[in-house]
Amino acid sequence: MELAQRSTILTPSLTLAIDSKAKAMKAEGIDVCSFGAGEPDFDTPEHIKAACIAALQAGMTKYTPSSGIPELRQAISEKFKADNNLEYKPSQIVVSNGAKHSCLNAILACVQPGDEVVVPAPFWLSYPEMVRLAGGEPIIVQTKEENGWKMTPDEFQDAMSPRTKMVIINSPGNPTGAVYTAEELAAIGEVAAAEDILILSDEIYEKLTYDDTKHVSIASLSQELYNLTITVNGFSKSYAMTGWRLGYLGAPEAIAKAIDAMQSHSTSGCTSFAQKGALAALKGDQQPVSDMREEFDIRRQYMLDRLKSIPRVSVVEPKGAFYVLANISQYGLNSTNFADRLLSKHHVAVVPGVAFGDDRTIRFSYATSLDIIKKGLDRFEEFCKSL
């Protein structure tokens, strides 16, 4: 049997593979400290679960509009205005099965075979695969530690060609925790606007920023950038709703309409009663979000201090999300060998940086308890000393 080429060019998710291996070891009774999965270890807040349960009990079990129930799209429109200074009408909003689905929809709607998409590295591992699935070519821009793992306008310009259709910006970013400033976004936006290049702005970690760092939506900086930008967000990270599979995007009317049409022929929309939970997330008590962010910040500082104290390991302070990217290249191992040996010998699971386009690094997630972080970093330090 011959499979379609689009299915054979994709690489399975290495983060999910590492997480599965760690869970299999735990099932065998091995004490594994896992820093692999990118999901909060907090439960979904009770008022969100209660809203979903109430909707289910009230019989909200039928199809909804493919782009989302009207009241949720209206709430997202209000959220964009209040939090991001963005004017998206409900008709410009599409609710999808997770922010990952929103990103894929945006790329499929805009990228044609032969188009190029600029992707700064280290990148979230699904971006290049989504571009390839659309028939496009990901153009990887290797960013530098000294620039805080952020792409500069010159690096962006150097990567462009007449075939460049889109650039992907992820701020706060996975796996680096980098957050672009308004000035940095404006400079990148100027390059994009000069060539009429679309911008996919993935803002899923928006509410997880630390110190005095402020999240900025690139589409809010000018009307010109607003017209070029697809803004993606969701509920997974901010509200600990990873398994709910609910994300959304705001886009120019024509793009939103195209995505809605695509979605009507694929998923038909999102789970009906789950959307009531999403509505409660936006409209209800935001204190759980603040509490979670404060706890993440404590873990971030602890992990950062510990990693900085280990010889031959270099880190850039993450300003958002819940990851630390560590450069381990001075140990003379590539990221896969390093991570494999760390897991097999010291039972610590991390994600090799090769998954993110940088084989010199490994990614730690601090979306796990402080006790596990302490124990896992003790083991990591022992492993580094043994090399």
Collapsing DSSP to helix, strand or coil, 104 comes out as helix
* Of 238, 256, 283, the domain-final residue: 283
Q: Based on the domain organization, do 28 and 149 belong to the same domain?
A: no
Confidence label for 172 from pLDDT (cuts 50, 70 and 90): very high
Structure tokens at 382: 């022992």
pTM score of the predicted model: 0.95
Q: What's the confidence (pLDDT) of residue 13? A: 73
Task: Give pLDDT tens digits for 263-305.
Answer: 999 999 999 999 999 999 999 999 999 999 999 999 999 999 9
| CATH code where residue 257 lies | 3.40.640.10
| CATH code where residue 36 lies | 3.90.1150.10
Q: Based on the domain organization, do 26 and 142 belong to the same domain?
A: no
**Dist CA 162 CA 183 (whole Å):** 26
**Dist CA 356 CA 331 (whole Å):** 19
* Of 229, 256, 283, the domain-final residue: 283
Indicate the number of domains in the chain. Answer: 2
Task: Give pLDDT tens digits for 106-123.
Answer: 999 999 999 999 999 999
Q: Which residues contact 376 (CB under 8 A, 6 or more apart)?
A: 33, 34, 35, 348
Among candidates 317, 321, 266, which has minimal Cα distance to 124?
A: 321
Domain residues for the domain of 23 are 5-44+287-386
Q: What's the DSSP call for residue 3?
A: P
Q: How many CA atoms lie within 13 A of 99 on its CB side?
A: 22
